[in-house]
Structure 1
Amino acid sequence: MPPEINLRILPRTVQQETVDKLRLAIFSGMFEPGSRLVESHLCAELGISRPSLREALRSLQAERLIDIVPNRGPSIPALTLEEMTAIYEVRELLELEAVGRCSQRISKDQLHELEKSLSAFEEAASSNDSLARVKTAADFYSIILANCGNPILEEVHRGLVARISFFRARSMSLKGRAQSSLAEMREIFEAIAAGDEKAARKASKKHIAKAKAAAKLSMETGT
């Protein structure tokens, strides 16, 4: 069963909290792929006006987490295996380059931050908090991207983060996947810490291949 999420928010942060809450609800599996989002129901659950909801939905549409079809309204996209494969192919291209460059550029202070983010993921991986796993994994990669020395690469990757997180949340629901991810991410960290560009790229390639296989399995089994 997906975790229950309290969707009610405070008026002072309506816009951002609405986006954040709905994004987490999508990642958690609260809404099934292909299902419609009924605006009146969401307004009641969130305690916000329809204009505020629609503004938030436009933000999620920009992240490609929802579709908004004229005369039909918003819905959760039913991503195909082909779309998932394409996303992971681009992820591999970007992250292999990022970890390789990061291994040659990261400062001691930022390396310490990367180690802290890995520790945070380790704690999340040992819990039943699927949302914490998604967030801490994204934090780990955001530090790598921020230290790769190419802001355009970082920007392009940021456009994929929401969809990567969508698949990550589902693949990590598979038994043992979170712990396997931890071991793979630790291997990436150790290669970066050693300044070994070749090993960093190799570790990243292995990690993404395993993540892709887990995402594929979660789609095929409906996990």
Structure 2
Amino acid sequence: MMPPELNLRVLPRTVQQEAVDKLRLAIFSGVFEPGSRLIESNLCLRLGISRPSLREALRSLAAERLIDIVPNRGPSIPALTWEEVTAIYEARELLEVEAVGRCAERISNEQLDALEKSLSAFEAAALSNDGLARITTAADFYSIILANCGNPILEEIHRGLVARISLFRSRSMSLKGRAMSSLTEMREIYEAIAAHDEKAARKASRKHVLKAMAAAKKSMPPPD
């Protein structure tokens, strides 16, 4: 299956940030294959930016662990092993289960309304088969939960994983039926939070992360 065509050209007024956003979007969309090298001259041409601006953007993406920059080799898309994927999902489970449980005890009615709206936005994305919207709306759902867990350090650590979580999310949700399964699982999380049932919220969150990990692994090539 050919990767989708994506217009990468950016406007000059916000060159660096737009370049970061466009390249991140391209990585999530599968424009660049895992393990492939990124040719700077080609990217400069496609983005319509200078090499110094591109290199600043690449450094930002390297900080998010979406690309690797190896001396004398240049930037490339990492090809993660199953062990690395497992480690990331284990960290996600620890962080999100704790955050969801704490959120269920603390969230205000106003923020609960915001969480419900974000879930509705994800539902619309899932039904419309919009892969990029699925990624952003799912991230929004969790950002509200993390913002209401009462622990800003937990939120900060999770934010460091968001880009890689979104990368795996884009792959797993490409599987038939996964987006609707995710919707069901996220609705269970929301309902437990809305009921302020900390135990049920943790259980629903753990179930969701484990199923997401299984889907992500299914979307990857088998190990050698």
Q: TM-score, normalised by structure 1?
A: 0.98
1:146 aligns with 2:147: yes
Q: Distance in 2 between matches of 1:183 and 1:10?
A: 39
Letter in 1 for 2:201: A
**Partner SS for 1:68:** strand
Aligned-partner Cα distance in 2 for 1:93–1:11: 41
In 1, the alpha carbon distance for the partners of 2:128 and 2:27 equals 20
Structure 2: give runs of 5+ residues left out of the alignment. Answer: none
Where does residue 27 of structure 1 map in the other structure?
A: 28
Shift, 1:170, TM fit: 0.1
- 2:40 aligns with 39
State the match for 1:56 in structure 2: 57
Q: Would the alpha carbon gap of residues 64 and 48 (structure 1) be closer, same or farther in structure 2, given more than 3 Å must change?
A: same
Aligned position for 2:82: 81
Partner deviation per Cα, 1:38-95 (whole Å, 9 max, x = no partner):
0000000000000000000000000000000111100000011000000000000000
Matched positions, count? 222
1:127 is displaced (CA, Å) by 1.8
3-state DSSP of counterpart to 2:5:
coil
Query: Normalized against structure 2, the TM-score is what?
Result: 0.98
* Counterpart residue type for residue 86 of structure 1: A
Deviation at 1:221, TM superposition (A): 6.3
Q: For residues 110 and 12 of structure 2, what CA distance do their matches in structure 1 show?
A: 38
Query: What are the Cα deviations for residues 92-125 of structure 1, in whole angstroms up to 9, with x where unaligned?
Result: 0000000000000001110000000000000000
Question: Where does residue 203 of structure 1 map in the other structure?
Answer: 204
Name the residue aligned to 2:165.
164
Q: Give the partner amino acid of 1:60.
A: L
Looking at structure 1, the residues matched to 101 and 15 of structure 2 have their Cα atoms a distance apart, in angstroms, of: 40
CA distance in 2, matches of 1:108, 1:2: 42
Name 1:110's counterpart in structure 2.
Answer: 111
Q: Deviations over 1:158-214 (max 9, x none)?
A: 000000001000000000000000000000000000000000000001101100000
Give, in whole Å, the separation in 1 of the partners of 2:157 and 2:207.
Answer: 22
2:217 is matched with which residue? 216
- 1-side partners of 2:103 and 2:60: how far apart? 30
2-structure distance, mates of 1:29, 1:64: 16
4+ residue segments displaced more than 6 Å: none
Task: Give SS of 2:75's match.
Answer: strand
3-state secondary structure, aligned to 1:33: coil
Gaps of 5+ in 1: none
Aligned counterpart, 1:119: 120
Amino acid at match of 2:127: S
1:129, distance to aligned residue in structure 2 (A):
1.6
Q: CA RMSD in A?
A: 1.0
Identity of matched residues, % = 82
